[in-house]
Structure 1
């Protein structure tokens, strides 16, 4: 690949998926695109489209998350581009629970590998990307595509990619409300009852089977007692929508740290009569490819 110019396309992701707190992730067909051009010197960042977040919320200097990830990856790989021109087209809404930060980091890591002139080392790239957030679920999904199971061991991040059942058609309900992972994580207690932990362990195991082989079990498999009800005060409308969907038999959960609601349908639509005022609702296919880099 020529390193004078290339385009990075990275998918959004949903994480947790009910009981799989910090462990389950799935890539979704909504994409950020970063065009990278090597220049003689300096840094120029253009935010062409900032999605729902608004251009004013996105920095255009060295603090830009994509730039930080590029710098970290280039330093790790021993390369230093003379200058960079980035054009960012962001479709993933910021601070909504769809992995916008992880997608930005993964795009920067992928760009760093392209600047170094080599293919992405998936394990190495996961260490770089997950290190920004301290957990690998969203980053692994955006990096690898499909459904991922993520964990850490001795300070190293790991992920296994699985193929989700072909009949699953995710639908997301995205509110205008924004949420910060650091804030919602602060609502979690330092310990949970043993019965709740045991419940989640069983449901998480069931969820792997349901997501890959038997989606008719997803309603039971997405039950959670570990995190969602503790975070409910941060987004009451989302909590109500999850409960309503589940009462209609739809496997639904808060996406990541919220406030987006994820519904794992097989029809690609929500049931008639479910109130979704205040939410933008649309089907997002599962992305199976993960981050892609193409020469320009």
Structure 2
């Protein structure tokens, strides 16, 4: 059995903690054989555990504590601590592992609910489970979500050669913002979502760059955002925005503009990685 979970990008600018898209980079978990103890083979960071203390198994055993130990193989294309949902993908994979090995018969809604409770908000886990574009809320312990087709475009991920932990990126956010500013921020998010549902990516892109919830507070942590946004405006991209908590910047581009954008972004920082992706429409899959 092999489990595949897509990377995700949360927020899309003003859709803070509620909007996300699934992307075509993946975490793979392969179940190899029975074992005396749980073992995870991987070639990731040495800091990532290979036993039951791994987040994958912590998640799975929380849902199904009596699972028979297995030898597993973990492979990930998703960079760690870069704002592309690396930890969320592991949580989603752990839920699916428990679901399949423990015969839990979880529904899609069950999986989103459990993943949100474990993660704390649904913006990454919901699209990782459902695929495509998802808008979700987590209120009074209950998750509500809507999946919709995201308009066709190329997706460029500009991944700097340094980590930015979510805890650090969240620590710079204010506890409160003025009521008038909150109304403006909400209106921007509403128009952005409506434009996506309407297939109007040019309008959605304009609103993505007008976020008032988080990017202004995080900009000193991601100084490359301003330079990337200027390039995107000059080259005709739809939008550029901080992916999740950063430091990755996501760029939405018309197909005919992508080559020129890619070249200019590459010239900006030779150590940064630039990935050409697309929207994953399937979410978590089992093969």
Per the TM superposition, whether the score is higher than 0.5 is yes
Cα pair distance change 1:99/1:270, threshold 3 Å: farther
CA shift for structure 1 position 143? 0.4
> After superposition, where does 1:1-296 map in structure 2 within 5 Å?
6-37=1-32, 39-47=34-42, 49-50=43-44, 55-75=45-65, 80-117=66-103, 119-165=105-151, 167-212=152-197, 213-222=199-208, 223-246=210-233, 248-250=235-237, 251-267=239-255, 268-269=258-259, 271=261, 273-274=264-265, 275-277=267-269, 278-294=271-287
Which aligned segments of 4 or more residues in structure 1 are displaced greater than 3 angstroms?
Answer: 246-249, 272-275
SS at match of 2:24: strand
Cα pair distance change 1:115/1:273, threshold 3 Å: closer
User: Where in structure 2 are there 5+ consecutive unaligned residues?
Assistant: none
Cα pair distance change 1:269/1:257, threshold 3 Å: farther
SS at match of 2:113: helix
Instruction: Provide the aligned C-alpha RMSD in A.
Output: 1.8
User: Where in structure 1 are there 5+ consecutive unaligned residues?
Assistant: 1-5
Cα pair distance change 1:207/1:46, threshold 3 Å: same
- C-alpha deviations, 1:241-282, integer Å up to 9, x for none? 235424654311000000000011122445354553132112
> Partners of 2:190 and 2:273 in 1: how far apart?
31
> Partners of 1:31 and 1:273 in 2: how far apart?
26
Q: What is the TM-score normalised by the length of structure 1?
A: 0.88
Bigger Cα displacement from structure 2, 99-108 vs 195-204: 195-204
CA shift for structure 1 position 219? 2.8
Q: What is the TM-score normalised by the length of structure 2?
A: 0.91
CA shift for structure 1 position 199? 2.3
CA contact (8 A) 2:61 2:67 kept: no
SS at match of 1:29: strand
